[in-house]
A and B are shown apart, each in its own frame.
Chain A
């Protein structure tokens, strides 16, 4: 069977660089000057124990959380994108990402596709590969199926930068294999990824490693 190509914007080159990113929650300093960079085709693996700031770093990189200090520079085709534009361009898979439980998988994807100003086809293609029925209510999905929907949602608008927080959690073997294949294709096509995981990931495409909380 011929695989459908999912989640690429051919011809767009992107780079991500962040320097001395700091973030506190009240008195608790979660990020103490974290730096890193990711080039096209590269994947930065962020590891650390629970509470070390992996998810906070990814939220800062996505633009969902403003860092207290430090710089985050995301460039596409040589142009720096501001935080609002970065927020809309990145693809995010995260445990706290939820969808409308009253709507079906297809209705959720169509809604977000209209917000993303694109068609739902890429999301459908991802779900076809991951094996998730379109007509099921999002509220009736198991945790593994929700994770599949998160992947489809993240790749809906062909992002160059994927920010993946524990991207393979709750997957069965087939789901994890499918998601790993999608990530590998994304990187082979010049995409970038930052992957947060509490444990080291066995993955061929890791180009950099950041250990938090040491």
Chain B
């Protein structure tokens, strides 16, 4: 590994560590994500739990609700990644000191770990509370990993774009729609497949391609969005 690459990775790691250190001291995103996930999880399990929906219907409906819970939990916490930098005026120091691509990757890595942690807690609880049976657990694990990455990457990119805007909340929803819609269509379809025992087909490679595309787009767009 060249010295430049090593320094770049060290920068990205520094951003990642800083994000988690600040998060552990304020617990803003953790509390928001946990509260939203818990509330929606309880509501869904009460309404569509073991007695609420037939097995055939459950395989069709419950994967959709799982990804809606994950999407809205992420949307409630992740946009803060860049918005808070602008609101607390730390963005100026970051602009002067950080390599934009390393900053983006550090924030993305933080978002990814947050989403994966959310999935680790929410998914088993959801499966138990709704009695959703999963025939292909490895496919579900793959979908959660790839889908979680896509959620984190898409949200980080949109969060960077909206950070300097005035109506951040509305803009996040508007911009997230075209970015995250293909991801959600794919993840829901694959989660249904994992529940029913279907093969992944081309959907999983398409999901991986989506992840790669959002990452490349983020790395290319972020320096332009971040700096004047």
Contacts and interface: CB of A to CB of B under 8 A. Distances in A.
Interface in A96-138: 96-103, 107, 111-112, 114-117
The secondary structure that dominates the A interface is loop
Contacts of B22: 100, 102-103
Interface stretch (B95-103, B126-134, B170-178, B205-213): B95-103
Interface in B88-140: 88-90, 92-99, 102
A99 B93 CA distance: 7
A92 interface: yes
A143 B98 CA distance: 25
By size class, the interface of chain A is 20 to 34
B6 to A, nearest CB: 10
A84 interface: yes
By size class, the interface of chain B is 20 to 34
A62 B228 contact: no
Interface string A138-180: 0000000000000001000000000000000000000000000
The secondary structure that dominates the B interface is helix
Contacts of B13: 114
Contact of B93 (A84, A114, A153): A153
Contact of A114 (B14, B21, B90): B14
Interface of B: 7, 10-11, 13-15, 17-18, 21-22, 25-26, 88-90, 92-99, 102, 223, 227-228
Interface of A: 62-66, 84, 87-88, 90, 92, 94, 96-103, 107, 111-112, 114-117, 153
